[in-house]
Structure formats: structure tokens, C-alpha cells
Amino acid sequence: MERRAGRLKRGKLIWVFCVALLFLLLLFVRSLLTFPDYNKFRYGYFRLSDGVVLDRNLYPLSFVRTDFNLRRAGYVRLREVNSRFLNLLIRSEDKRFYSHGGIDVVSVISSLRDFVLRGRMRGASTINMQFVRNYYGLGQENVVLRKIKEIYYAVIIDLRWSKSEILEAYINTVPVKGEISGIYTAAWGLFGKSPEYLTETESLILLSLIKRPSVSREELVKAALRNNGNLGLNISENEIEKIISKLPERYYIPKPADYLPVLSERLLRNHKSPVVTTIDKEIQKTALEITRSFVSVLKGKNLNDAALLVAENRTGEILAYIPNSFELSSGKYVDGVKAKRQAGSTLKPFLYEYLLEQRLLTAASIIEDFPLFIGKKGVVYSPQNYDRTYKGYVSVRTALASSLNIPAVKSIMIAGVENYTGHLKGLGFQPEKSDEIEDYYGESLALGSLDVSLFELVRAYMILANGGLYKNLRISKKEMAEEKRVLDEKAVYIIQSILSDRDARSLTFDLENTLSTPFYSAVKTGTSKDMRDNWCVGFSSEYTVGVWTGNFSGEPMHNVSGSHGASQIWFALMKELHKKTGSKPPLTPYGVIKKRIVFKPAYEPVRDEYFIEGTEPSGDEIPVDTGNIPRIIYPPDGTVIALDPAIPVSQQLLYVYTNCRDCILLSNSRKVESHDTVYMLGIEKGRHTLELIDASGHILDSSNYEVR
């Protein structure tokens, strides 16, 4: 019975042993089959410490440090490494690398013998074992458990990968010194050269650092001399000391040119490297060079910063993104494309487009360009044209193309500030305090008091370029395209015609200027108050280009308007973009008719004009009504005037302006002496009433004001 029980017990043990062996075998086979192949390591596990941003054709635009635990600046292939170095590496780290199956049994036995007989620990890790230690991050585990895992995976990787793949993976991940990982980074960071050109001495020092990455210079010299003898090299001690003495305290790795700063950092924060953008590297480089060139020329006029954006009309893809003028900029980390500034006259096309779309005006409608005073809650707003002159009677075409301010203010009074604000919102602009829009902006909104970004402006002008279709601006290839109609195609076509009209523009800009390209383009400039910002935004049939120039500090420029600063960059870049391709004007859409018109009196020459069908005049003549209704121009009703305490009251005067030479002005029912259409009144505290009467005593206009 005892013998039989013993046999059963042994049988059970054998059965358990076989099951365990089978389980381990299955586990090994599973690990073998699921262990990543070399390509998964190369393109999945291996990561540079720098994220990379690529252009649309996969050319690198920018490298940004994203991993601060280690430093890997590049991946190197075996053929790109000095063969002498590779031979020394194998002799130093794993001399039977090409003959063992992941574990060097001879080295393990030799290491155990040394430990038993001499009490000396000696490493027996193969290149396979060292690599899987780095690959799986086993450095912090228990020594025994770590060694078991290293041996296990070293055998698997030897079965799955070729020897050259294992060696290549090893040299790209081996820790060298401090945070440096990989031979490529070490060669460039320590010796300033490619691994292909390492000398024998440099190779020896690099091998010594692989063995002991954290040693001091003195210890490194000793380690290098020891390896020098072990490897049978004949390098002098002086040569070793000389090279080690030249090693930098802080390594430096040269980086390629950065063509997309600021934006690339933002992209890599939100997306996994590599990020493929819509940028065209050649267009980006050209835009950068042009921007730098013009900013350097205009620095004498206190213009230090610029931003630029180029988009493709057909797709909405951004082809060039210049956030600032880089080394010339006062704010190298500021994104001038997204920063908000006063829009100036760049918003006027959208005001007139709204009026055309609502059939409130046509391109031939006449608007007065005379002095204008608007009183609201005691404050007087008096817009001025850029050149401080008045053009009299002008058409909408001339008013927009020549960027006249007073007609624009009169136009927003027709449209309504709230209606125009809603129109801008529909185009992607975001007015502040839109619930208080009348008080916050008022009629000044017509002249661009709204803060906008270059990004918003280019997106809105691209709507004009695409005949009223909205397309989202895209910088990443992963972004989905959007498209929807937001503007009337017929009204947009007339605005396109006006913005491309060199003759209509000549009243302010002359015939030859930096807005007149030798091919079809439509463009608008803008300058904010005190010349703090100037803009130029326009489009051809292929591209929409926007430029901002100014100072991030908010300082004003010295006599630099949109037609002299930003437009020069815009013009130069547009010519480069169309060096090899033409630009054709858009086709006239259905519902737009062309008609020859004659102004009576002839304030503007005879011309062919475009109209939305149904808004054209019945005849050829456009009558210009020059009969002004007699009125008090200034002060407008409700004006509040403050006395200047520094000037004697007797020397302070109020100038009253009217548009009637034959009328009589009464102040508190007393007649005021006339100087043509200007009257001078002494100032007294209190409420006062002005009345404009004709020769028969009929009141034509009145105005109340208060002096405090």
C-alpha cells in the first residue's frame, strides 16, 4: 500500500509538473506571438523628447521639447554610425552578441564563478537584456525579479527580431550621461557631430559613459583608461584627458530652423506628436522672410511687430501662420494672429454688404461726406476722414473703396448698430458687451472700434472670397471641413467688385499703390486710433491673406497707415503666391445686373455699375440731391459742455456750425452775429437753446445744450 501511495504521489507531482510546464510553454508562446515587432518599437514605443510639427507634405516645421525626463533628439540607423564604434561597443558590452540566443551562458557561469571564488560581482547582462530593461522600465524592480524578466524577454526578442534590429534599438535607447538617451543625442550633445564621424578616442569615452553614466570627469578618465586596456587600444592618456576636458558642462544639440514657433507649442499640447498641419513649408518660409524684411525696414517708424495669415479659399486650410516677427519682435511668445486689436476700416465691407443685402442701399447710392456731429447722452461724437478733408457727395462704391469714414457712420445709422452687430456675430466676430452695444460702441462701430483678431478677419474675408460661403479655417489635417452659406451671393459679388476697383480707390489711395496687384485681387486696409495698429486683408481667386503690423506693447507707430505698413507685406506676398498661377475675377451670379449710370450733377464719372436685380434705377440717371435741409450741425441736441477752469470764462467761446448761409441763429431768443455759417457765442453756465430761423421767422431747427 505504501509503495502504491508513493507511486500515486509521484504521478501527481509529475502531472502537476507537466501542467505547469505546459502552462509556461503556452505563456512563452503567447509572449512570443504578442511581443511587438521592430516596426512597432520604431514607430510606436520609441519617442523623441521633442515633439515635431510637420507641414502638409510631411516636412518638419518645428521641434518642441515635450519630455523632460530624458533627452532624445533623433533616431539613428546602424549604417549612420561609425562601424569602429559599433565593433568596440559589442566587444565592450556583449562580445558573443551574434552567437548567443539572448543570454550569454558562458558569461553567466563566469560571473557566478567569480562571485563564489572571489566574492566579486560582475555584470553578465547582454545587449538584449540591457535593451529590454530600458524597454520595460525594469530598473526600479527587485534585482532577482528584474533578472528573471530580463532573461525571459531577452530570449523572446532574440527570436522575434534580427540581431541588427536589436543592436539598432539598443543604441537608440541606451542611457549615456544624465538625461541623454541614445548614441545620436550623445554624439551631438557631447562632441557636436554625427555618430558617423566619431573618432576612436571619442568612441572609447562614449563606451565608458555607457558603462558608468554618472561619473565625474576624473572617474571618467580612469574608466576610459581601464577600457582602453581591456579593448586592446593604444590611445594615450594625454589624448583621453584632452578630449574629456573639452566635454561641455551642459550639452548642446543643434536644432533645425523653427518655422512655426508659438503655434507649434500649442499644437503639441493638444495633439500627439507628430502633428501634421495644413501649412505649406515653402509659403511659410516666404511669408516669414517678407515679414522680417519689411519690419526691419520700418523699425525706424516704431513698427516692431507683425503677424500674417494665409488661407486657401477652396479648402479653408491655413498655408502660412506667422504669429510675430520673431527675433525682431518685442514679444517673441505672443501670437499676433489670435491677439485682439481694434479693426479700423477692415470691417466696412461687411457694413455695406449688409446694406446691399437688405436692399437699403446700392453701389450707386449717394451719401454725404460733410462734417458730422452726433450727440448722445451729453457726449459729442464727430468722426473725421483719415486725411481730415471732406469729399462732398460720393457713391457707396467710392465711399467703401476709398475708405471714407463719415459715409460709413451715416451708413450704420441707416443699418442700425444692433442690426450690424448681429451681422458681425454671424460672420464669427465676438463683440464685447453685445447686450449694451448701443452705449458701448455706438456709431463708432462703423469705423472699427470693435476688437478683432487677424484670424477672425481672414476667416470673414474668406467668406467674401467664396461668394458668401463660410468655411472654417483649419490648421490641422485632422480637423473636419465645415461649409454653410452666411451671406447673400449677389451682395457679396458687388462688394468684391468694389474692393477690386482701382479707380474707385484712387480718391484716397491714388491709382498706383500697394493695393493694386497686376492680377485680380480685392483688398481693404485699416488703421486704428493713433496709428496703434494697421491692417491689410484681401483675397485673390486662390488665397486670402491678412497682415497686421504695430506694437504688442500698444505704442503708436510713427506715420504708418494700413496703406504704407501692412499693405507692403500683403502686396509682396500676394505677388509671390501668384508667380506661377493667375487669379481670375469671379463670375457674375444670377440676379446681378450691370447697368450704365450717369450722375446728375456729375459728381462721379459715367460708369457701368452692378445692382441686385430689382434695385437698379429705372433710367440711366442717378439724381444727386444737393438741397440740404437747414440745420444746426454743432452742437447737437443734448450736448454738455464743461468750462475750462484754467482759462478765464470771458475768453472761452462756443463755435456753432450750420449749413445755411441765409438763416438767422437765435441763442436763448437773442440774435447771434454770423460769420458765414459759423457763429461764436460766449459761454455761460446753465441750459441754453439755439434756434435756426429763416427770414420769415419760421424755426427750421433747434438744439439744446448745457454748460457746467
Output the CA–CA distances (angstroms, integers) from residue 600 to 283, 483, 604, in the order listed: 49, 44, 9
Is the pLDDT reported for residue 560 higher than 80? no
> What percent of the chain lies above the pLDDT cut of 90?
26
The predicted model gives 338-345 an average pLDDT of 90
- Can you tell me which residue has the cell 457713391? 395
Cα gap 394→366, rounded to integer Å: 5
Residue extents of the structural domains in the chain: 2-34, 40-53+70-245, 288-622, 632-707
Is a pLDDT exceeding 60 seen at residue 180? yes
d(CA 523, CA 499): 5
Strand 699-707 to 639-641 pairing: parallel
pLDDT at 557 over 70: yes
Question: Which residue intervals of 274-428 are DSSP H helices?
Answer: 281-298, 348-357, 396-401, 405-415, 417-426
Residue 654 C-alpha cell reads as 462756443
Mean pLDDT of 353-380: 82
What number is the average pLDDT over the span 373-392?
A: 69
Whether residue 376 contacts residue 386, with contact meaning beta carbons closer than 8 Å, is answered with: no
Mean pLDDT of 163-189: 88
Q: Is the pLDDT of residue 224 over 80?
A: yes
Q: How many CB atoms lie within 10 A of CB 575?
A: 13
How far is 210 from 271, CA to CA, in rounded Å? 34
Residue 18, pLDDT above cutoff 70: no
**Average pLDDT across the chain, whole number:** 83
Q: How far apart (Å, rounded) are the C-alpha atoms in residues 300 and 558?
A: 8
The one-character DSSP state at 553 is T
Per-residue pLDDT at 375: 65
**pLDDT per residue over 668-698, tens digit each?**
888 888 766 778 888 888 888 888 888 777 7
CA dihedral (330, 333, 338, 341) in degrees, to 10, reads -20
Rounded average pLDDT over 146-171: 83
Kindly tell me if the per-residue pLDDT of 529 is higher than 90: no
Residue 116: the pLDDT is: 53
Residue 2 has pLDDT above 60, yes or no: no
Predicted pLDDT at 112: 62
Task: Give the highest mean pLDDT range of 25-39, 231-245, 556-570, 688-702.
Answer: 231-245
Which among 59, 576, 544 is positioned nearest to 319, based on CA atoms? 544
More confident call, 436 vs 171: 171
Instruction: Report the candidate in 261, 269, 248, 329 with the shortest Cα–Cα distance to residue 295.
Output: 329
How many other C-beta atoms lie within 10 A of the C-beta of residue 275? Answer: 22
Q: What angle separates helix 163-173 from helix 127-136, to the nearest 10 degrees? A: 50
Q: What is the pLDDT averaged over residues 346-350?
A: 94
The pairing of beta strand 522-527 with beta strand 533-539: antiparallel
State the architecture of 632-707 in CATH terms.
Sandwich (2.60)
Q: What is the pLDDT of residue 436?
A: 56
CATH number of the domain at 288-622, please? 3.40.710.10
CA dist 129 to 10, 95, 177, 268, Å? 37, 14, 20, 33
Question: Do the strands 392-395 and 366-369 form a parallel or antiparallel pair, or are they unpaired?
Answer: antiparallel
Q: Calculate mean pLDDT across residues 587-610.
A: 91
Query: Is the pLDDT score of 631 beyond 90?
Result: no
What tens digit of pLDDT does each residue of 277-330 get? 999 999 999 999 999 998 888 887 888 899 999 999 999 999 999 998 877 777
Flag whether pLDDT at 117 surpasses 80.
Answer: no
pLDDT at 503: 84
Whether 610 shows a pLDDT value over 90: the answer reads: yes
Strands 483-485 and 522-527: unpaired
Of 24, 704, 577, 498, the C-alpha closest to 286 is 577
Give CA–CA dist 583/465, Å, rounded. Answer: 12
The residues near 209 (Cβ < 8 Å, ≥ 6 apart) are 176, 177, 186, 215, 220
227: confidence class by pLDDT, cuts 50, 70, 90: confident
Between 488 and 70, residue with greater pLDDT: 488
> Is the alpha carbon torsion for 225, 231, 233, 239 positive or negative?
negative
- Between CA 380 and CA 641 the distance in angstroms is 10
Q: What percent of the chain has pLDDT over 70?
A: 87
**By three-state DSSP, how is residue 598 classified?**
strand
Q: How far apart are CA 372 and CA 636, in angstroms?
A: 10
Residue 373 has pLDDT above 90, yes or no: no
Does the domain spanning 40-53+70-245 belong to CATH 3.40.50.1820? no
* pLDDT > 80? residue 204: yes
Which of 155-159, 220-224, 418-422, 454-458 tops mean pLDDT?
454-458
For residue 535, pLDDT beyond 90: yes
User: Once rounded to an integer, what is the mean pLDDT over residues 235-256?
Assistant: 84
> What does the alpha-carbon distance between residue 611 and residue 130 come to, in Å, rounded to a whole number?
79
For 634-667, the DSSP string reads ESPTTEEE---TTS-GGG-EEEEEES-SS-EEEE
Residues 71-84: what's their mean pLDDT? 88
What pLDDT shows up at residue 469?
A: 96
Mean pLDDT of 573-594: 93
